[in-house]
Chain A
């Protein structure tokens, strides 16, 4: 298992760099993860998505898709693409310390 030192923590990551142990994540870590992928500042809107993803993961055991975030957290699709440009599903998962979503939609 590969590890990566981010935010002062030796994180367990998969071959793509996504964290494999969600319990290693905490809210202090998110800004450091964001910086890794070019999101310099996490706004309240980012946090709304991140907190939804974390609580939804706890309840469902898997990472929510964009569709799920837009319908259940009430963040419009357009905004998700602005907050996490180009690859919103992967970027929001990464910052939230979760695997990328497995669902198709």
Chain B
């Protein structure tokens, strides 16, 4: 029979999310969701631009930019986009809509729904104190799935014995 290791499940993972763009917030949630589905204790720590992913009024509008992103190709082709073109008005919205569509086709939920799903699975979400202050955020700005705003030292205590992924 499969080894589900209920008793030995002391693995802990911390994901540091430092970017608030659509692709990296998605990467964080895919990994986080996989971890928690394996019975791993999960903490996600949002810092710097990653805070966009937990600011309630912004989290439905995360974007991906084709600017300075040479690996971004039209799916199924080798065609990328020159920076001159990528910087034209509307290109970020275009790229974001395209990625959202591709993700939807793979049944990847939109960001807020994905966060809720991982939260419902038992994950802990934290905001970084220093960058929260620097960006002049208030408690009302945060999505209500965030447990608390914590300091770097708090994070060190929290992450003791954990594996850490920095995104």
Judge whether A86 and B1 touch: CB under 8 Å: no
* A90 contacts B107, C-beta separation under 8 Å: no
- B37 and A36 contacting across the interface, CB-CB below 8 Å: no
Name the one of A36, A68, A77, A91 contacting B121, with C-beta atoms under 8 angstroms: A77
* Contact between chains at B107 and A105 (CB < 8 Å): yes
| Interface residue? A59 (CB, 8 A) | no
A89 near B4 (CB under 8 angstroms)? no
Q: Write the A1-38 contact mask toward B (1 if CB under 8 angstroms, else 0).
A: 00010100000010011100000000000000000111
How many A-B pairs have beta carbons closer than 8 Å: the answer is 58
A80 → chain B, closest Cβ, in Å? 8
The B interface is mostly helix, strand or loop, or mixed, namely loop
Number of interface residues of A (CB under 8 A): 29
From A6, A66, A85, A86, name the one whose CB has the most chain B CB atoms within 10 angstroms: A86
Chain A residue numbers with a CB within 8 Å of B37 are 66, 87-89
Complex Cα distance, B22 from A101, in Å, reads 25
Q: Mark A79-105, 1 if CB is under 8 A from B, else 0.
A: 001000111111100100000000111
Nearest chain A residue, comparing its CB with the CB of B122: A81
Task: Evaluate whether A38 and B6 lie within 8 angstroms (CB atoms) in the complex, with A87-B38, A89-B37 already known.
Answer: yes
Q: Measuring CB to CB, which residues of chain A are less than 8 angstroms from any residue of chain B?
A: 4, 6, 13, 16-18, 36-38, 65-68, 70, 76-78, 81, 85-91, 94, 103-105
Chain B residues within 8 Å of A, Cβ to Cβ: 1-4, 6, 9, 30, 33-34, 37-39, 106-109, 114, 117, 120-122
